[in-house]
Structure 1
Amino acid sequence: MSVTLPNVSLQQGTWFKLICGASFHHLPSIRELSFLYTLAGADCIDVAADPAIVQAAQQGIRRAQAEDPQVGSPWLMVSVNDGEDVHFRKAVLVDPVCPADCPQPCLAVCPPHALIRAGASTQVHIRAELCYGCGRCEPVCPHQRIATQGYQVAAAEILPSLLELGVEAVEIHTRIGRQSQFAQLWGSLKPWLRRLRAVSISFNDGPGLEAYLRDLLALMDPLPEVLIWQVDGRPMSGDIGAGTSKATLKLARKVLDMGLPGYVQLAGGTNGQTVSLLDPCWPVAGVAFGSYARQLVAAYLEGGSGLAGGIPLAKQLVQQVKRRAVAPRQTCFSGV
């Protein structure tokens, strides 16, 4: 297997990023996901900005490289935020007791099975390290017993130690209207830019998006060596159904038309149908997969010898992006 460097994958439109989750802190799963998707050929692995999480991902990467010396070295990326964001939250219990007659629909809708019954108890508990903040449990609780609690990463405090561990890229999650908050966060990152291979800006759609992104460009002076615009069409929804890709494709088209410097990468609602729906003429750099990529191999995580069963599934997903048909520019703009 020939290895393509991550920056070359961006240029070729075949960049594959695994999103482990900014709020997902389950070390065994992080190790196994990093192992499976490094072995499958991922270009980047995005994890929570936490030293223990970064080290777990590195352990998975090294294990994959030991098993197959021909696999590459994916960039390790950590996610930070400039304010409230759905990726930086956990489910919490606001009432410790489930009523005896509660059907507990929350158990069925939790993708990582972070909501559990403890032993013979009928009470639902939350395994916080497994929760990645999708929020699906909150609206289905008949007794409003569940809420979500957000947090903000202290980038200035944590980034130096993460860089020393080998983190190579940072993703900033932002929202329209947060110019001042972004500027403050950018100021804390600026001294470390020369040590980063890439900076990714993740955002949702909304009124005034182009003006906001251009404001961010003005604030990012100098621009990072590699700048990625992550269009997060429908956050954390790729495992729900095939149609979730539509929002990210719509947002990608909108951002591509802006002609911003840097690369455009899909996220939010991405799944097994995304690449087939993507127009070969669109100069999209690649695709990031989060909830769908995790669910695809969930049965094999922490599986010991059974982990091998997840390898072909991970490879199949990565190869959808690696074999993506990208039309030559002269074909796309010649009217053919």
Structure 2
Amino acid sequence: MAAVPAPPPPLLASHAAVRATASDVSRFRGARLAGDHPPQVAALRRGDWVKLICGASFEDAADVRNLSLVYTLAGVDCIDCAADASVVGAVNEGIDVAASIIPAVQRPWVMVSVNDDCRDLHFRKAEFDPEDCPPDCSKPCEKVCPADAISLESIMVGGEHTRSDPLHGKLKGGVLTERCYGCGRCLPVCPYDRIRAVSYVRDPITTSELLKRNDVDAIEIHTTGKGTDTFDALWNSFSESINNVKLVAVSLPDIGESTVDFMNVLYAIMEPHLQGYNLWQLDGRPMSGDIGRGATRETVSFAIHMASVPERPPGFYQLAGGTNSYTIDCLKKAGLFQSMTFPGTTTSETISSQQALIGGIAYGGYARKIIGRTLRKIPAQFGRVHIEDHPDHLLEALQDALSLVGPVKGYPALSSMK
């Protein structure tokens, strides 16, 4: 009797639908010749750049790996992550697995995010002592956390079960630090005001070492718009490493009439040592991640303001903060989706570089949320989930990712495949 052949490895067996879908994406992108520019820069010039924000404070390597895998297959141009070596490694592992499924996949740039002072909302963690919590608390913090970063469990004390006699029990657990990205939703819902936010600043020496790695392509500096001294000091600390990256991004909120002047001061600080490309991230509604149409209005309003100002600093412009499935529609209504002229101007006023006013969109909390729904369905093995080992779930996650990336990229018949 002939021996039964061993089944092929998972990446060669059960990924037919995933391969077919991702191959369509790769073929479409390959047909768009980048010319003299890297494909990521060509995307910024066309206005169809897409960045995945894993979270400047999100350090769950397992989730970051799977998010990077899925969104690489979906065709993002950049993956932004915490400036942490293990997180950077997780991003690159996800990209590598995507490339093992579709060898022709375009590798996105890997970006690390840092801050110039501790007031930036992206660089904080929730913290509390569960033993300070009343044992009969309804745990609303656990319910509202979008990252599943709070886990509280009732335990017995002195032989009494907590549920039967809450006064003799207590809670254990608390905040899972690596999963918390500082959204702040837990702070106002605590009925006992026991949760606090702890802010921090990424170490510039550690970041400089990351910039020297060959698997880090870009850096993003978050600034609050409340001063330039800390930005200047941070930028100078990168003087020996900043030229290792291809792109420098600055993320900032809309601070009103002084926004453009502030940006021009920052550009003057950067310009002497800036050899690569630069990008401005217009963070309209920081740390939102909401799904409603209203959540994206602030970032689109920010875009309208910046696109109409002739004295804005050089560089590409990209939206973030409150971006979701409604952002493209709102940009189109404003006349700024992949547009090279501000609405109402004449063709003679077209910007000389022939690049889109808004180079693209970064998706953060919303992008993580729609993939997280699928990841939570997969049973963990040895504490880890490798989404490629579950082809049906990988296809589901890829389709969700394409529903977000496809409308920006203009994938034919793919943006509506769900």
After TM superposition, the score normalised by the length of structure 2 is 0.74
Which residue matches 1:226? 277
Which residue matches 2:368? 294
| Aligned positions of 1:1-336 closer than 5 A | 1=27, 2-3=29-30, 5-84=39-118, 85-93=120-128, 96-118=131-153, 123=171, 125-207=174-256, 208-222=258-272, 223-258=274-309, 259-278=312-331, 279=335, 280=337, 281=339, 283-301=357-375, 302=385, 303=387, 304-305=389-390, 306-323=393-410
CA distance in 1 between counterparts of 2:226 and 2:187 reads 27
**Contact 1:25-1:129 within 8 A present in 2 as well:** yes
CA distance in 2 between counterparts of 1:250 and 1:161 reads 34
SS at match of 1:186: helix
Count of residues in correspondence between the two structures = 324
**Contact 2:260-2:313 within 8 A present in 1 as well:** no
Paired-residue identity, %? 40
Query: What is the root-mean-square deviation in Å for CA atoms of aligned residues?
Result: 1.8
Deviations 1:82-128 (A, max 9, x none): 00211111110056322134222112210011111237576261111
**Contact 1:199-1:224 within 8 A present in 2 as well:** no
1:218: Cα distance to partner?
A: 1.2
1:240: Cα distance to partner?
A: 4.5
CA distance in 2 between counterparts of 1:308 and 1:50 reads 29
- The list of structure 1 runs, each at least 4 consecutive aligned residues, that deviate by more than 3 angstroms after superposition, is 118-122
Which deviates the most, 265-274 or 93-102? Answer: 93-102
**Contact 2:316-2:359 within 8 A present in 1 as well:** yes
**Contact 1:50-1:162 within 8 A present in 2 as well:** no
Which deviates the most, 144-153 or 201-210? Answer: 201-210
Which deviates the most, 28-37 or 124-133? Answer: 124-133
Q: Give the 3 Å change call, closer, same or farther, for CA 184–27 of structure 1 in structure 2.
A: same
1:323: Cα distance to partner?
A: 1.6
**Contact 1:36-1:310 within 8 A present in 2 as well:** yes
- Give structure 1 stretches of 5+ with no counterpart: 325-336
CA distance in 2 between counterparts of 1:159 and 1:320 reads 36
**Contact 2:211-2:245 within 8 A present in 1 as well:** no
1:221: Cα distance to partner?
A: 2.4
CA distance in 2 between counterparts of 1:191 and 1:178 reads 24
**Contact 1:87-1:133 within 8 A present in 2 as well:** yes
1:70: Cα distance to partner?
A: 2.0
1:159: Cα distance to partner?
A: 2.0
Aligned amino acid, residue 303 of structure 2: A
Deviations 1:220-255 (A, max 9, x none): 122342111100011121334221100001111222
1:315: Cα distance to partner?
A: 1.7
Bigger Rg, structure 1 or 2: 2
**Contact 1:55-1:165 within 8 A present in 2 as well:** no
Aligned amino acid, residue 314 of structure 1: A
